[in-house]
Structure 1
Amino acid sequence: MKRALMISLLVLATFLTAPAGANATSLTWAPTTTGSDARLRGLSAVDRYVAWASGSAGTILRTVDGGRHWQQVAPPGTESLDFRDIEAFDARTAIALSIGEADASRIYRTTDGGRTWTETFRNAEPTAFYNCLAFFDSHHGLTVGDPVDGEFRVLSTEDGGRSWKNVPGPAALAGEYQFSASGQCLNVAGRRDAWLATGGSTVARVLHSSDRGLTWTASQTPLASSESAGVFAVAFRDPRTGIAIGGDFDNPTNGADALALSGNGGRTWRAPATAPAGYRSGVTYHPFLADVLIAVGPTGSDASFDGGRHWRQFYAGSLDTVDCGRDGACWAAGATGAVATLRLG
């Protein structure tokens, strides 16, 4: 782990001190060969060797050798499902969420690296649509979905995803919903704090729970909101420091009103000095470098080294989601089976 941390520090320090014209040759995404053409919007980075990715056409991929080889490990008979989110604890244990109305929203769990899966939830509500899941620890987690009868759907588990129960969700505004673009419309930090990101209405909001989803409070962000705009991803470094990012997926080169920062647990939000030059669907904090963030989207990837106040684009390709493992290794995934690792260019 110490060696991986030193590599991460070297890569990011090189990027930070490089001249503007050296962006493409300092920090970049190094592609891996997955053998898949699915759109991968779910990603869980365990470390520099182990990662899981999930997406369309019933795709769940796993690598245990840093991306040199990938194996399709999805449950049999799920070819019609779209696995938009996945949370992995190690090389053997993962929880995958498929999205869609009615019984297209399902949760599966594996403890043997994907050789076998157990279906632990299948949605029975005709109009419910689940979007994202996240875990506080190996036992406690949440799954969230779009509103039904004016209330966001929330599921809770206390046994590592073996079983799920409905808990009362927060009230929604007219037209409000979530975006399942990166598996990051729900984020957790610490043992009890969770944040739910929204769009679709007249304002883009972030809702916060400090009791593992039992109660919620809402705050308005400065991000633009419409049927195609809002907060697509939310990330918190700790229970106080966080970021909300998104934009308008129908206008992907417009980065105006697409990012906000919070230093008080999401009670209030402020726009930074600069922001990425386009819609971004995924964002993550580096696990060791407290002020370093990485954002990805269809028109590029950007990094910030001052807690999100200023940003530099380092990659022009399209990616949908990003995650960093516990040893500091960072991964990203997107369309046509793309999975990449963060490298010196």
Structure 2
Amino acid sequence: MKKSRLLTTCLLAFLIFATTLKAQTIVQLQTGKPTSIRGLSVVDDNVAWISGSRGYIAITRDGGKNWDWTQVKGFEKADFRDIEAFSDKTAVIMSSGTPALVLKTTDGGATWQEKYRNTDTTYFLDAMDFDTPKHGLILGDPIRNKFLLLETNDGGETWNPFKNMPDALTGEAAFAASGTCLRVSNGNILIASGGSNSRLISYSQKKEIWDYSNFPIAHGKASQGAFSVAVGKNNGIMIGGNYEKDKITDSVSVGYIPHPFKLLTETVRQPAGFQSCVEFLNADTFLATGTPGSNITIDGGKTWKQIDSTSYNVCRKAKHGKLVLLAGNGGKIGILKM
């Protein structure tokens, strides 16, 4: 009798799990623009911004149905790898490559003002994140064995070196793939690194020190490592792999528990290949995406299920709302239907 109840319970749990995953689909909204999109910021269920190569930016005010595209005048060759938006009027964009640039608009993208410029070729900006409308950070590749960090306390008007740069190992770097190798929350900082090592580098505002934790994401080559980190309610997830061999599913994702950082459990089923971005949605649900397609987990990263085979670079959820968008090469934009 007990075995029968246990079997029924397990079967019911499996059916709920399978039904929940089956309900997740990605619908492509548009494609065909000559830009590779890696910057995506979803403000609410109506407003979202994207940024990409060749100086392109776009904004939607109706939840992704329609997009207004422009090339930022004077910056048509810039590769805007990340964007942080605060409304349909105000946004900050970051350019990778030389020169390293930060621009800001307060009129919905009609005009942009240059807020930071550095022509030093050792500067390569990877990601940007804000935890308040005033406070934000930009992460750059290591210079003299220190990761570059720039900080703003006035909404992106001015940028200055962070007071305490984190250490970098030889051959270690960050990936400017989706703007999510850096996360900032309540002044605390998380960095997902790759290359020679796959580490979760964290900064506590209270302690004002850096902690370094090694995680079993594929690494050792310039194309390998952790590309993205996300923080959930119960645990976090770090994700990546090898973008040159993006169908390999070994050592792509790990779940972790913070304070102190340690592996949650061994991942039972990995995502279907390399993933450049992971985003927390709700409860124990995370969405990840990459060139082989998109995957979802509803158990905090223990088990992943591929829900789409379309290539995307980035996925982001609304700061205030439920809208989840994806973006990628060729001006491709998608929406997650739950």
Unaligned runs of 5+ in 1: 1-13
Q: Which residue of 2 aligns with 1:206?
A: 200
TM-score (structure 2 length as normaliser): 0.89
**Correspondence 1:191-340 to 2 at 5 A:** 191-201=186-196, 203-211=197-205, 215-225=209-219, 226-237=221-232, 241-265=235-259, 267-270=261-264, 271-286=266-281, 289-325=282-318, 326-340=320-334
Q: Which residue of 2 aligns with 1:7?
A: none
Native 8 Å contact 2:54 2:71 kept in 1: no
Q: Which residue of 1 aligns with 2:9?
A: none
Structure 2 SS opposite 1:57:
helix
- Offset at residue 214 of structure 1 (A): 5.9
Q: Which residue of 2 aligns with 1:11?
A: none
The 3 A distance-change label for structure 1 pair 214 and 74 is: farther
Native 8 Å contact 1:293 1:304 kept in 2: yes
Structure 2 SS opposite 1:250:
helix
Counterpart CA distance in 2 for 1:109 and 1:57 is 17
Unaligned runs of 5+ in 2: 1-14
2:19 maps to amino acid: A
Q: Aligned residue pairs: how many?
A: 320
Say yes or no: does 1:181 pair with 2:177: yes
2:262 maps to amino acid: T
Give deviations 1:197-246, integer Å, cap 9, x for gaps.
11111x211110122996422111111112110000011125x7311000
TM-score (structure 1 length as normaliser): 0.88
Counterpart CA distance in 2 for 1:212 and 1:113 is 36
Give deviations 1:38-57, integer Å, cap 9, x for gaps.
11111111122211111111
Native 8 Å contact 1:15 1:27 kept in 2: no
Counterpart CA distance in 1 for 2:269 and 2:253 is 9
Native 8 Å contact 1:34 1:70 kept in 2: no
1:185 maps to amino acid: C
Say yes or no: does 1:18 pair with 2:11: no
Structure 1 SS opposite 2:172:
coil
Q: Which structure has greater strand proportion?
A: 2
Using the TM superposition, name which of 146-155 and 203-212 deviates more. Answer: 203-212
The 3 A distance-change label for structure 1 pair 19 and 126 is: closer
Counterpart CA distance in 2 for 1:269 and 1:81 is 39
Structure 2 SS opposite 1:128:
coil
- Offset at residue 119 of structure 1 (A): 1.0
Say yes or no: does 1:155 pair with 2:156: no
Structure 1 outlier segments of 4+, above 6 Å: none
- Bigger Cα Rg: 2
2:116 maps to amino acid: F
- Offset at residue 265 of structure 1 (A): 4.5
* 2:336 aligned residue (312, 320, 342): 342
Give deviations 1:261-309, integer Å, cap 9, x for gaps.
11124722354222102000011011xx221110101111111111111
Q: Which residue of 2 aligns with 1:72?
A: 69
- Offset at residue 114 of structure 1 (A): 0.7
Using the TM superposition, name which of 335-344 and 261-270 deviates more. Answer: 261-270
Give deviations 1:152-193, integer Å, cap 9, x for gaps.
10001111111010123111101111111111110123x121
Say yes or no: does 1:41 pair with 2:42: no
Counterpart CA distance in 2 for 1:332 and 1:342 is 8
Say yes or no: does 1:133 pair with 2:133: no
Give deviations 1:52-86, integer Å, cap 9, x for gaps.
11111111111111222211244311111101111
The 3 A distance-change label for structure 1 pair 31 and 107 is: same
Counterpart CA distance in 1 for 2:207 and 2:113 is 24
The share of aligned pairs that are identical, in percent, is 36
Counterpart CA distance in 2 for 1:124 and 1:212 is 34
Counterpart CA distance in 1 for 2:73 and 2:290 is 31
Counterpart CA distance in 2 for 1:285 and 1:185 is 14
Native 8 Å contact 1:134 1:143 kept in 2: yes
